[in-house]
Structure 1
Amino acid sequence: MKKVNLFLVLVLLLSIFVSAQTVKPEYQKCIKSFIDTLKSDKKEVIAEMVAYPLKREYPIPDVVDKSDFIKRYDEIFDTTLKNEITKSNPAKDWSDMGWRGIMLNQGNVWMDFDGRLTSVNYQSKAEIDLKKKLIEAQKKELDSSIAFFQKPICILETDKFKIRIDNLGNKNYRYVSWSIDKAMSEKPDLIIYRGNFVVEGSGGNHQYEFKKENYTYECAFIVAGEKNPPAAKLTIYQGDKVILSQNAKIIAK
């Protein structure tokens, strides 16, 4: 997979905003309905408007269903986010982003064209505090050799390996792996530092690449572009030669 340099990433981001269009009147009605419901704090009604699972930033668990949403409503929709939404103008503050859906301002909230809430990218103080607590809990469960990181990225499993990727800070990514029969509390079989995050195109596909001597370990996440793709894939290269390729399950991300 080809790497996308900073210039191309900036071009892609610019193209997203250039492609933004005013939301059509029929979709503005859906947005207004969502705004009015939020103003009244009708949790049960809003819960019916959500496309589940509603992703939260790992290690915070995703919102899996209506009952879960109602319990966590105040944790997600704090005063700041409510104000941004309820004071917004459907015609001016929301944008039609094509296949991506409808976006509020710079992307804190997304809806689809059926009026369903598909993404909340904002984090309240309650969620920030919860994330810190969960990260500290993870560190205590790991071997001391890897019990330090700024942000967990994901946990994968292939037929042969358990894999953990963490951000140590300043986009310094770390690859850790165990044989599939080992627990992550045990000493890892392999640790590689200074990995790279690589974006491919605008469809969401991305990967993490790690180099150790003449070997490259590539953990790819496949969102679009293939028919019935695996969620993720581990590919190991020796030089330019593929010596292992295995589909991976995303255990956490």
Structure 2
Amino acid sequence: MIKKIILCLTLLPTLSFANKIHVATEIKTEKKEKYQEKIPKTVIIKTKKFKVRIDKQPNGNYLYQSWGANTKITAKPSMIISDGEVIPDGSGGNYYFEFNNNGTLYQVWRNYLTNSSKKTPYTLVVIDGNGETLVRQDAQIVKN
């Protein structure tokens, strides 16, 4: 009888830990689902030099298309990058889309939380293969 009690007491922390892992995984999944609900299926932004359209694809990845700032969006895009992903940034709801084009990263940041009320809602960042920032331009929403 005493052996059974001791066995139960030694297994109790293990079972409790396993339950905590299960609950933490469920919470993480719920947060991710709520987070994904905030991301629009299509975003169109305009910087000083570019118009960018980002669309969610049926496979869950994102498609990046860009034009010159004064080009109509109905024209053929000057650049198309597929298989982009959305990456959460912190716990305040910020995120960014990231696209890789032969080692050059194209990121479109969503800025929910900023220090300035004048800060634009999106920022386009282009980073070369050496990690140097080639472009950093604030963007306004054309369609969200």
Within the candidate set 159, 162, 168, 2:51 is matched to 162
The answer for unaligned runs of 5 or more in structure 2 is 1-24
After superposition, where does 1:96-115 map in structure 2 within 5 Å?
Answer: none
In 1, distance between residues paired with 2:67 and 2:31?
37
Structure 1 position 230, deviation (Å): 1.7
Structure 1 position 12, deviation (Å): 8.2
Match of 1:176 in 2: 65
Match of 1:211 in 2: 100
Check conservation: 1:162, 1:178, Cα contact below 8 A: yes
Structure 1 position 11, deviation (Å): 7.5
Match of 1:238 in 2: 128
Structure 1 position 249, deviation (Å): 0.2
TM-score by length of 2: 0.70
Deviations 1:18-54 (A, max 9, x none): xxxxxxxxxxxxxxxxxxxxxxxxxxxxxxxxxxxxx
Find the structure with the greater CA-based Rg: 2
TM-score by length of 1: 0.41
Give the structure, 1 or 2, with the largest relative contact order (CA under 8 Å, sep 6 or more): 2
The answer for unaligned runs of 5 or more in structure 1 is 1-6, 17-56, 59-151
In 2, distance between residues paired with 1:172 and 1:11?
18
Check conservation: 1:167, 1:174, Cα contact below 8 A: yes
Structure 1 position 233, deviation (Å): 0.2
Task: Report whether the alignment pairs 1:186 with 2:64.
Answer: no
RMSD across aligned positions (CA): 2.6
In 2, distance between residues paired with 1:169 and 1:155?
18
Check conservation: 1:12, 1:202, Cα contact below 8 A: no
In 1, distance between residues paired with 2:115 and 2:29?
24
In 2, distance between residues paired with 1:225 and 1:245?
16
Q: As a proportion of its length, which structure holds more strand?
A: 2
Structure 1 position 203, deviation (Å): 0.8
In 2, distance between residues paired with 1:223 and 1:205?
5
